[in-house]
Amino acid sequence: MSAPEPLVTGRVRVALVGCGRISRNHFEAIARIDELQLVSVADSDLARAQAVGAEQGVPAFTSLDAMLSAMPSDLVAICTPSGLHPQHGIIAARAGRHVLTEKPMAISLAAADDLVQTCDAAGVHLFVVKQNRLNPAIQLLRRAVDKGRFGRIYSANTTVRWTRPQEYYDAEPWRGTWEFDGGAIMNQASHYVDLMQWLVGPVESVMARTATQARRIEAEDSGVALLKFRSGALGVIEVTVLTYPRNLEGSITILGEKGSVKVGGTAVNRVEHWLFAEYDDDDKLVEAANTNPPTVYGFGHEGYYRNVLKVLRGEARADTDGRAGRKSLELILGIYESAKTGCEVPIPLRTRL
């Protein structure tokens, strides 16, 4: 079978919309990859758009439509509020651009499906950033799962004990709202929910409780969920943004009949426990897999962009596309539905929430 034809030749031109907090990770990743070129930025805040455009040395716009009309590009990176991701992705796809969106890809399954279907119809790729999958420690853990080193997996746990002060929410009025953001589970813990289903397998059902204990926001600042996996394994998700006085832990633990592993640190960046009944050469790589990222975002954006580049060159498949992004979104929405109704909720969801 011959290799697929490259979709983009020459440098991949990237236009970015949404110049807020997470955009920095994108700018840094793009700057480290010679084959990528940032060509323009857009933000609804004129002053912010102009300041970032001047800093990055590219034209700045106040709307995605204006940027797409004025500037040729191959890929649009969407870093706007979560509730706007589908709208902006659809605009970019209809303009013939490939789409890269921050997590979550949407805050409803209907909107996520609209985005996937629009990209399919336009013949463009849809990439959903799940950079924590690329952490060296998580890659090592995934290999252990794939090799069957755990034997039967009994339980899994992910813990996100971070802090987001009231000032964080007050700085951007969309944060913590149901229309544009969701709460701690949808936003801060999105990657960790994704890791649970990616590493341990499909979830059969979920029961959950959420609370808004200390932050003046619509959505939750804390939550817990109990998962039953189709394999029979049990899981726990624990999330809070009320940790005093700073981020404490972002971890995942898997316990099986032949092995136990905890990857922790502040952002699943450090192997804290690694023990298996049988030796594997990967055991020698544990210490080298540990990293010390400056923020909870880690180093994964660069790796993610490198995969995007390979896909557009016809050399690889997407690490996480729209359909993969939908799976973790469905689980998050199942958690919210259970917390709302007080009932156990089956996955997949019976209705598109």
Token duo for residue 50: 């102009």
DSSP labels for 241-277?
SB-SSS--EEEEEEEESSEEEEEETTTT-EEEEEEES
Which residues, 6 or more positions from 281, have their beta carbon under 8 angstroms from its beta carbon?
Answer: none
Stretch (H or E) spanning 328: helix 322-341
In this prediction, residue 296 carries a pLDDT of 57
pLDDT at 352: 74
Pairing state between β 153-161 and 126-128: unpaired
Cβ neighbours of residue 69 under 8 Å, at least 6 residues apart? none
Report the pLDDT value the prediction gives residue 292, as an integer from 0 to 100.
79
C-alpha–C-alpha distance, residues 67 and 107, integer Å: 25
Supply the pLDDT for residue 313.
96
Phi first, then psi: give them for residue 331, nearest 5 degrees.
-65, -40
Indicate yes or no: pTM above 0.75: yes
Give the residue range(s) of CATH 3.40.50.720 domains in the chain: 12-130+302-319
Query: What is d(CA 198, CA 328) in angstroms, rounded to the nearest whole number?
Result: 9
What pLDDT is stored for residue 4 in this prediction?
A: 64
Q: Enumerate the CATH 3.30.360.10 domain ranges in the chain, comma separated.
A: 132-272+328-346
260's tokens: 């136990």
Do 254 and 227 form a contact (C-beta atoms < 8 A)? no
Closest CA to 106 of 125, 121, 128: 128
Q: What is the pLDDT of residue 344?
A: 98
| 333-344 per-residue burial string, b: 16 or more CB within 10 A, e: under 16 | bbbbbbbeeeee
Q: pLDDT tens digits for 196-213?
A: 999 999 999 999 999 999
Which of 195, 207, 274 has its CA nearest to residue 234?
207
Q: Which of the following CATH numbers is that of domain 132-272+328-346: 3.40.309.10, 3.40.640.10, 3.40.50.1370, 3.30.360.10?
A: 3.30.360.10
Name the stretches of the chain with pLDDT < 70: 1-4, 293-299
CATH 1.10.287.3510 fits domain 12-130+302-319: no
